[in-house]
Structure 1
Amino acid sequence: MPAFPKNSLSVLTVPAFDDNYLWLIHDGVHAAVVDPGDAGPILAALEAHGLSLVAILLTHHHADHVGGVPQLLKHAKVPVYGPAHENIATVTVPLGEGDTVYIEQLALTLSVLDVPGHTRGHIAYVAAEQHWLFCGDTLFAGGCGRLFEGTPAQMLNSLAKLASLPGATKVYCAHEYTLSNLRFAREVEPGNPLLTQRIADEQAKRDRGQPTVPSTIALEQQTNPFLRATEAAVIARLQAAGRLAEAGPVAALAALREWKNVYK
C-alpha cells in the first residue's frame, strides 16, 4: 500500500456490506472511524495502512452503522462518540447539538448537529476547517434517508441545516445509493440540465468502479430534490403527479419521500 503523508488529514473510503461506506479520518498514523457497521474491513484497512485507531464516531443506532464497534473495542480501547438521544450501549461520550469533539491525536475539531428524521436522535459531524460533513443516513448523494422514526418536519429542518453549510463542504454519506437517487431526481425534475450532467458524471464513476461519494453541498443544492422541495418546478411536478394534497414545504418534503419509497 502507498504511504500516506504524515500530519495531513485525509479520509479513506472503506466499503462494507453491499453498499455501505465506512470512513477513516487519518493523518497517516492515527485514525478515527465513522459508523463502523462492520469491524472486519476497518481492521484490515488499519493494518494495511499502518494506522492506529484512536476514536469511533457514530451518527445513529442502526446496526449497519454500529455493529462493528464491540469488536473494534477489543482491538483498541478508544472513546466512542455518539448521539445522546439514542440507546447505543457502546457510546462513552454522548453528544447533541452544539457539542464539539476534539480528537487530540489528529488535531481534529468536529462540531455536532442534531439531524433527526431518519432516526429520532441522528447526529452529524462537521469538520469546518476541512470542509467535511459526516451525515450518516440523513443526507445522501441525490437523496435523503427514509423516515423510520422521525417526521417530515424534522427531516426538512435537518436537511436545511446541512444545506446551509458552505457549498464546498464534502458530503460523506454512508451509502452508494447515488444512481438510484438520481433516477428519481430526474423523474421529479426532468428539465434540470445540471441533473442530466450529474447523472452522466456519476455513471462514469461507477463504470470505472469508483465511489460517487463524497458529493458537495453545492452539488446537492443544485440536483437533490429533497433540498429543492420548495422549487417551483418540483412543486409543479408533485402536483402534476397527484402527490401534493397540501401547500407548504413540509407537505412537499413528505410527498417526495413517500414517492421515493415506492419509486422503481
Structure 2
Amino acid sequence: MSEKKTTHFGFQEVPVEEKAGRVADVFHSVAGKYDLMNDLMSGGVHRLWKRFTIELSGVRRGHKVLDIAGGTGDLSYKFSKLVGPEGLVVLADINESMLRVGRDRLTDRGVAGNLVVSQADAQYLPFPDNTFDCITIAFGLRNVTDKDLALRSMLRVLKPGGRLLVLEFSKPQSELLSKAYDAYSFKLLPFMGKLVTNDADSYAYLAESIRMHPDQATLKNMMLDAGFANCEYHNMTGGIVALHRGTKP
C-alpha cells in the first residue's frame, strides 16, 4: 500500500489534495480587508516592492501581461496603463473571493477594455503556449502546492524572450533582522489579523508559509530547473522580500 503524499500548510503536514482548499479558506476569510492589512503589515512598503517589480518587467504598449495570484489588482492596474488599448492584462487568481474584490476595485478605478479576469490555478494555466510577454506572481508562489509544476506552466504560456517576475517574501540577510522579523511575524501579525479581520489563524498561517518558502538561491535554481534563462534576484528590505526574474529562452 503506497503512502499518502503530504505537503506543508504553514508548519503543518497535510495531504496534498487538501492544501488548495485550506489556502482558499484563508483568502476567502481575509479578501475584504486584504489591502488594508497589506498596508498595515508592511507600513505601506509593499507599494515600493511592487513599483520595482513593474520597473523590471519591461512591459510596454501593446504587450500581453498575466498577473497570477493578482488578488486585489495592484499590479494589474499599473500594467493596464502601460500596455494601453492595444495590449491586454489578465488578472488571474485561484481564489474567487480575492478575484471578485480585485475586479470590483479595478472597475471602480475605471479600468476596462484591456483587462480580463480569470479564475486560474498557477499549476495548470488555461492559456495557449507562447501567449504572454510578461508574467508576474506577487506574494502567491508560496501558497502553490507544486511550485515546480507552476513554474513550468508559466514558462509554457510565456512567449520566447518573455519575462517571469516572482515577488515573494524571502530570507532576511542578517541574523539580527531575522530575529526581529520572527518576533514581528509570529506575535504581532496574528494579533493585527485578529484586530482587523477577526482572524488570527489566517495570519498565523501566512507567517508560517513565508518561513516554509524556498530561500533566494533555492528559488533561483528552481527557475533554472524549470527551463528559465538569465535568472537573477534582487533583495529588498534586507532580504525580507526578494524579486526573482527569469526569461524564456
The verdict on a shared fold, with TM-score over 0.5 as the criterion, is no
Larger radius of gyration: 1
Which structure has more RCO (C-alpha within 8 Å, separation ≥ 6)?
Answer: 2
Q: TM-score, normalised by structure 2?
A: 0.37
- Give 1 or 2: higher helix fraction: 2
